[in-house]
Amino acid sequence: MEEREISQAVIGRLPRYYRYLGELLSNGVERISSSDLSKRMHVTASQIRQDLNNFGGFGQQGYGYNVKYLHTEIGKILGLNVNRNFVIIGAGNLGQALANYAGFERSGFILKGIFDVNPRLEGVSIRGIPIRMMDDLKAFIMENNIEIAVLTIPKTKAAEVAQMLADTNIKGIWNFAPTDLHLPKEVVVENVHLAESLMRLSYKVERYNEEHME
Amino acid sequence: MEEREISQAVIGRLPRYYRYLGELLSNGVERISSSDLSKRMHVTASQIRQDLNNFGGFGQQGYGYNVKYLHTEIGKILGLNVNRNFVIIGAGNLGQALANYAGFERSGFILKGIFDVNPRLEGVSIRGIPIRMMDDLKAFIMENNIEIAVLTIPKTKAAEVAQMLADTNIKGIWNFAPTDLHLPKEVVVENVHLAESLMRLSYKVERYNEEHME
């Protein structure tokens, strides 16, 4: 594919295209028109054409999009064409739930280790992966080519652990702790602030109520 | 507070302000200047002044913001000044992790019930709340004034369950199933698509790598 600048707005929509194309693919669909995809995704066909033009994944007029080609190209843009090793730090309820989710592996994210400070969890296994103590984290990251750390620890510990991670080769942090991390730019962060998401839902509920009680 | 139109962009930032103001409040801080808040939040002071001007929560020049007042006002906008009952549907790992998180209660979200289809989970309690079977869901929602349902079920079941919820009094769905729900507009939806969040992280890692290998 040609090198080309793709806007942030388009990038933000790619995971959703990737998901829909993946579903089509597993349903055996080989090609789809922008108007059919538009109906499925509840997005205008013109938006879809504009977005997907970035990837050149459209054939002749009337042919539609080649599903497999587009899925592959978008996967490459998202960096999903290579495997990435990750560790989960914090084996509480949320950490264990994420550790038990096998779906990440299908996108190339390979869980290599789980870490906690609680000595009672030491050696307990989740999907065959033993929980290790935090003292071993740094060496483990170095020795196992870990690119991503998932932080499912209390916010009071998050800054300190993130700082420790910044001193390793780690490239990205998927942060579930309800706090903002301030790290050198070579460590990228993606936040999942669940409490804030719930507040946005609450806002929508409240606003809908107000508008329909007047 | 005066009625006033607040832009969607400002609304999107409110949960973060709410979180920072809440932290200041629990640290006993009564007022804060826009420049101090700017340093903490890593946002420009001018952005903060523009955003918070919407709430009139600023006193005289040199006084700074009244932390408690602003926290309360933003909480009202977000609908956090009232309690909302919710149920969790899907008592798998993620559903149980969310059920175990007591933090939601502090924002007024009260967990009333947990539902699943697995008969082996029937009667098992999480934080004193017994897991119930799906057959009882509709009646439970009606009888317990449930406003919000959290969906932590596989995507293959999500559309059907969401449709069933749309026939009750439910007002909002916090959807963790990796699929889009298409519901009547009186049921608002907030999605948490974890796989897509992980893809955004992957994109950032990939892009940083590319830029620094050339």
Q: What is the pLDDT of residues B19-35, one digit of tens each?
A: 999 999 999 999 999 89
Question: Stretch B101-113: mean pLDDT, rounded?
Answer: 90
Question: Stretch B50-69: mean pLDDT, rounded?
Answer: 77
pLDDT in tens, B131-176: 999 999 999 999 999 999 999 999 999 999 999 999 999 999 999 9
Q: What is the DSSP-derived secondary structure letter of residue B179?
A: S
pLDDT exceeds cutoff 90 at A5: no
Residue spans of alpha helices (H) in chain B: 8-26, 34-41, 45-53, 67-77, 93-100, 103-106, 137-143, 155-166, 194-211
CB contact, 8 Å: B6 with chain A? no
- Going by C-alpha positions, the residue among A196, A95, A25 that lies closest to residue B18 is A196
Distance from CA of B184 to the nearest CA of A (A): 12
pLDDT at res. A90:
98
Distance from CA of A92 to the nearest CA of B (A): 8
pLDDT at res. A1:
43
Residue A58: pLDDT band by 50, 70, 90 thresholds? low
CB contact, 8 Å: A46 with chain B? no
| Total-model pTM | 0.91
pLDDT at res. A12:
87
Beta bridge partners of A86: A111, A148
CB B172 within 8 A of CB A204: yes
Judge residue A183's burial from the number of C-beta atoms within 10 Å of its C-beta, 0-12 exposed, 13-18 middle, 19 or more buried: middle
Rg of chain A on CA atoms, in Å: 21
Residue A2: pLDDT band by 50, 70, 90 thresholds? very low
Instruction: Give the ipTM of the model, two decimals please.
Output: 0.91
pLDDT exceeds cutoff 60 at A60: no
Selecting from A171, A174, A196 the residue whose C-beta is nearest the C-beta of B208 gives A171
Q: Which residues contact A147 (CB under 8 A, 6 or more apart)?
A: A84, A85, A86, A169, A170, A171, A172, B205
Identify all chain A residues contacting B156, using CB atoms and an 8 Å cutoff. Answer: none
User: Alpha-carbon distance A6 to A76, whole Å?
Assistant: 13
Q: What percent of chain A has pLDDT over 90?
A: 76
pLDDT in tens, A16-26: 999 999 999 99
CB A58 within 8 A of CB A22: no
User: Alpha-carbon distance B193 to B183, whole Å?
Assistant: 17
Under an 8 A CB cutoff, do B204 and A172 touch?
yes
Residue ranges of A 109-168 with Cβ closer than 8 A to chain B? 109, 147-148
CB B136 within 8 A of CB B87: no
pLDDT at res. A57:
58
pLDDT exceeds cutoff 50 at B110: yes
- Going by C-alpha positions, the residue among B10, B39, B131, B183 that lies closest to residue A182 is B39
Nearest CA in chain A to B172: A205
User: Alpha-carbon distance A37 to B187, whole Å?
Assistant: 24
* Euclidean distance between the first and the last CA atom of chain A, given in angstroms as a whole number: 54
User: Alpha-carbon distance A203 to B12, whole Å?
Assistant: 10
CB A208 within 8 A of CB B183: no
Identify all chain A residues contacting B181, using CB atoms and an 8 Å cutoff. Answer: none
pLDDT at res. B4:
56
Residue spans of alpha helices (H) in chain A: 8-26, 34-41, 45-53, 67-77, 93-100, 103-106, 137-143, 155-166, 194-211
User: Alpha-carbon distance B180 to B175, whole Å?
Assistant: 8
CB contact, 8 Å: A1 with chain B? no
Residue ranges of B 181-210 with Cβ closer than 8 A to chain A? 182, 185-186, 188-190, 192-209
pLDDT exceeds cutoff 50 at B2: no
Q: Residue B157 to residues B129, B134, B154: CA-CA distances in angstroms?
A: 23, 12, 6
User: Alpha-carbon distance A135 to A139, whole Å?
Assistant: 9
Residue A214: pLDDT band by 50, 70, 90 thresholds? low
Q: Between A and B, how many CB-CB pairs are < 8 A?
A: 172
Under an 8 A CB cutoff, do A15 and B205 touch?
no
Distance from CA of B51 to the nearest CA of A (A): 17
